Structure 1
Amino acid sequence: MSIELESAAHLAPHALAFSPEIAPAVTRRSYDHVVLPGDFPDPTVTKIGDTYWASATSAEWGAVFPLFTSQNLIDWELVGHVFPNKLPDWAGSNFWAPEFHCENGRTYMYYTARKKGGMLCVAVASADHPAGPYTDHGPLVGQEAGSIDGFAMPDENGDLYLIWKEDGNSCYQDTPIWAQRLNDERTALIGEATELFGNDVTWEGPLVEGSALVHHNGYFYMFYAGNSCCGKGCNYATGVARSRALLGPWEKYDQNPILDRNTTWKCPGHGTVTQMDGRWFLLHHAYLADSHEFVGRQGILSEFTWNADNWPEFERRSPQAAPIRDLARLNIADEFGGDRLGLEWQWPIGQQPVAAVRNGQLHLQADGSRLGAVVARRSHVATYKAATTLDLAKLPADTYAGLAAVGDPYNALAIMAGNGKVQIWHVKSGKQQSLVQVFVDPCDTITLRLEVWGGQRYRFAYSTDGATWLALPTDNFSLNGTYLPPWDRGVRVALVAQGDEGNSAIFNNFIILNKR
């Protein structure tokens, strides 16, 4: 059965960015664009050979640390992950802030993760090719307050140092930025750590973090973020400091922050510098004001220049990227062709489900947890319709399957079918409750639909013929989903299967149609 929501152009599954219209020859092309739409915080970028590579924070969603390639910094293709299936044995959560370093034909990925039962650490993995496979070498540093946001940078003598943030704000302390030399294998720290600077300027608030360094015109420049990164109350911004020597002394720019909010973008920060055709760019994240925490922090390219005093300057001191206008390019229409799920699908960390694609269907093995097994896609806007068609005749008894808006496994809104009923499930703070249920006559397939406006108001409906929609009744016409997104992540749209592990749900398709 096809999903007849409305007409939509066919979309390539990996279309994660859009290309601007070709400008007149006399006009300087703008590269200020949303290049990683959706929830891609703390992006990193580097050029290896003739190809740009990018990655971003995964947080609590697998697979961990996406790998993108591009030839022009605008159009990016998802080609893999640093940890596609198996996580490092030592790490359990908080997979944040990956940073590339390339040396002697080898690619290193410095990243943050939380030690199982312990503190946040900066660790490193390496590969013979930037696409992997990567070998993990474990933590490099894990201070009592936590250590995050590692970045590798050679000093003026060519010795490679790790720069990182001590996560003092997690325990109401200051947040010094440290540097310490790496060994020749780049897998351990040697010598003594040196403090570079801390949060000592008013705009920085409780922290400085997200260091990214570049050497230019005789100076080391550190682009860094200050203040609160995430959620409704965020006030993140970007500053810069410079020094003739890597270990200091460092001078902060008296015009900081150099990149701050405007009416379109909020909380721009935590980026990495790159160059193309003699022009300079920062790939960083920011919230689109219209969708904010419901979509998450999106990857934005912002160009900067160097002023007469050799400090970087951004136009209007804020992101100039326009919101994506052609939202249809970001629609999702997955008919489950091929023999496996596409790389864009995600699952909660440590809960990778058993999923198989065959004969144009997704077979998702059920799980007995509160929401069940989950495979999800990032949302791109806060207003959309989503739907899936479920092979109801083959759904085992006491197994439920459906479609959900998921903040994390403990917070979700779902429309579920099973045992002759369609229900709305409310999962909040880990407690699952059926809010509404209606009985349906036996049928071979059923199509489930959710609609959301502004990330906050949800409605649910189902169809047994693919054309006639029956709304599930709710007291206030719609349900409130403002509780869904965690402080640091956007909402995903998921297929879910709940029940005994030996049972499976069969899905025929998955569609998201974006709206303004």
Structure 2
Amino acid sequence: MAQLLKSSPTLLLSLGLLLGACQSATTSVSTPTATTAETIAEEELPAISIVNPVLPGDFPDPSITKVGDTYWATATSSNWGPVFPLLQSTNLTDWKLVGHVFPGELPAWADYYFWAPEISQEGNKTYIYYTAHKKGGNLAVGIASADRPEGPYTDHGPMVAQPDGSIDGFPMRDENGQLYLIWKEDGNSVQQPTPIWAQRLNEEHTALVGEKKELFRNTAPWEGNLVEGVCMIKRNEYFYAFYAGNGCCGHTCTYGMGVARSKSLLGPWEKYEKNPILTKNEKWACPGHGTVFNRGKRWYMLHHAYDTRSFEFVGRQGVISEFTWTANDWPDFKSGNSVPTQSAPVAPRNLTDEFDQPTLLPSWQWPVEERPTVALQGGKLLLTARPQHSGAVLGQHTTTADYTATTTLLNPSKLPAGTIAGIAAHGDPENTLALTAGSGKLQLWQLEKGKQKTLSEAKLPTSSAVTLRLQAQNGNLFRFTWSTDGGKTWQNLPGLTAPINGTYLPPWDRGVRAGILAKGPASATAMFENFRLDSQLPVAQATGK
């Protein structure tokens, strides 16, 4: 079953707007003039409706390019595998998840924090500039390439790894057509400033050459302790650096977007006196870190923001904001320096998996350091247990604050001793809230900071199958029920009169996943018949108010 990501409130955009201005910065060195916005085709195309979020769910630091008639996007995976989703669309509204940059094994040099992939098309090659934690070291910027946007990708290893960390790589050609890598030194991680650096990149896109040059750093009060996530374009006589500043993540985030410009890639750079140019509103909080695009004279940015109804429980979602240019050639976002909030009915993302495909649907995720062993046989999913943390985990993006997830576990009374399996809200391997069956009982338990606590339990009935249900409200309140008649009637666990508080679940940079787990000896296997995720919208949002 192909996964389609549906979007919400309407924003009118030109059909062809996303010819990647930022990505076109790396067009063939033999034609360096292709780095300028003016070389992009300007024919007018019919307007179509684009709805925000265009990438619903946890898709931070999104990046996008166009190859032929198809748009390609990717985003941060952080500590969820498979790493770096690859999504395609022909209309910018309906996005199909078709694979991942690293669908199986991780890059040999990296172990976690897979952040900020920048997708760039140059000639017949697709490049992914990405951040990851280097084994035994700190954060580093690496690169992978492929002959097609869908892959397969070859990793070329890290290019820069400073002692304080290096993140947010971005390719750009200067006024002479020379290729550079732009990145942030992660000084805020050690209470230091965060310089933005530029250094020559070889034409093979595999190694830095020469000396690095600082472009600018966090100096303005609104930027707080960092600037990051730089995207560059060349327009007329200026290079423009769109960048994010301040705190990116969580309910107390303070993120916003600024811009600086220079007539030379290496500076001097001038920050806009009216920064920040993109800030929060009543619908979208902490916008930032994205990619700029243009179509003729129309300009847009794909970036992330929190929906204020679901915030960190869903995560940072991909949205598009349009901007124009002032008489003095500075960008001016049309929606009043905030993400568009046009009202329109929306279609929530729902998913049903009967496990009847030959391979696992690409929307399934797992903790990047604990890839589970999975088999699909005769319309059943067999999940091999793990003894540590939350067990073996599979999860799905959530896209709204209110949702219902169900799964049917087969032969729960036949699970090996010490084995449990069921449904869960997953934060990370150390933070989970789950209803499981096994060892003769149904058990509701929470794992918080690695410490497990039983909240309620009941005797496991003699049945060939038990259906388990999770209901989320406001992103952080959870109710769990169970059924032995396929969901016709639902039963509560004893002693539970109020929903369980799951505020502790989301890590600082990720949303919550709904999914399944199997915990126990590695010789044990749990069998699941199906999984369903239904998203519910608040009444006001569903009616476009």
Structure 2 counterpart of 1:60, one-letter code: N
CA contact (8 A) 1:56 1:66 kept: yes
Structure 1: distance between partners of 2:265 and 2:240:
9
- Superimposed CA distance per residue, residues 55-88 of structure 1 (whole angstroms, 9 cap, x where no aligned partner): 0000000000001112232221111111000101
Structure 2 counterpart of 1:284, one-letter code: H
Structure 2: distance between partners of 1:441 and 1:499:
20
> Is 1:17 matched with 2:38?
no
> Is 1:387 matched with 2:406?
yes
1:59-458 → structure 2 map (5 Å cutoff): 59-276=78-295, 278-315=297-334, 316-322=336-342, 325-327=345-347, 329-392=348-411, 394-458=414-478
Aligned equivalent of 1:42: 61
2:52 corresponds, among 33, 38, 48, to 33
Question: Is 34-43 or 449-458 further displaced after alignment?
Answer: 449-458
Structure 1 counterpart of 2:476, one-letter code: Q
Could you state the TM-score of these two structures normalised by the residue count of structure 2? Answer: 0.89
Secondary structure, aligned partner of 2:158: strand
Point out where structure 1 has 5 or more consecutive residues left out of the alignment. Answer: 1-11
Structure 1 counterpart of 2:252, one-letter code: G
CA contact (8 A) 2:143 2:157 kept: yes
The Cα shift of 1:409 comes to 0.6
1:484 corresponds, among 505, 527, 545, to 505
Aligned equivalent of 1:3: none
Query: How many residues align structurally?
Result: 502
- Superimposed CA distance per residue, residues 212-244 of structure 1 (whole angstroms, 9 cap, x where no aligned partner): 011111211111000000001101000111111
Structure 1: distance between partners of 2:441 and 2:59:
37
In structure 2, relative to structure 1, the CA distance for the partners of 1:211 and 1:229 (3 Å cut) is same
Question: Is 329-338 or 274-283 further displaced after alignment?
Answer: 274-283
CA contact (8 A) 1:338 1:358 kept: no
Question: Is 265-274 or 353-362 further displaced after alignment?
Answer: 353-362
In structure 2, relative to structure 1, the CA distance for the partners of 1:323 and 1:398 (3 Å cut) is farther
The Cα shift of 1:93 comes to 0.7
CA contact (8 A) 1:392 1:418 kept: no
Q: Percent identity?
A: 55
Structure 1: distance between partners of 2:437 and 2:344:
35
Aligned equivalent of 1:9: none
Secondary structure, aligned partner of 2:53: strand
The Cα shift of 1:411 comes to 0.4
Question: Is 480-489 or 458-467 further displaced after alignment?
Answer: 458-467
Structure 1 counterpart of 2:301, one-letter code: L
Aligned equivalent of 1:510: 531
CA contact (8 A) 2:8 2:346 kept: no
Secondary structure, aligned partner of 2:222: helix
In structure 2, relative to structure 1, the CA distance for the partners of 1:176 and 1:435 (3 Å cut) is same
Structure 2: distance between partners of 1:322 and 1:59:
30
CA contact (8 A) 2:8 2:345 kept: no
Question: Is 298-307 or 151-160 further displaced after alignment?
Answer: 298-307
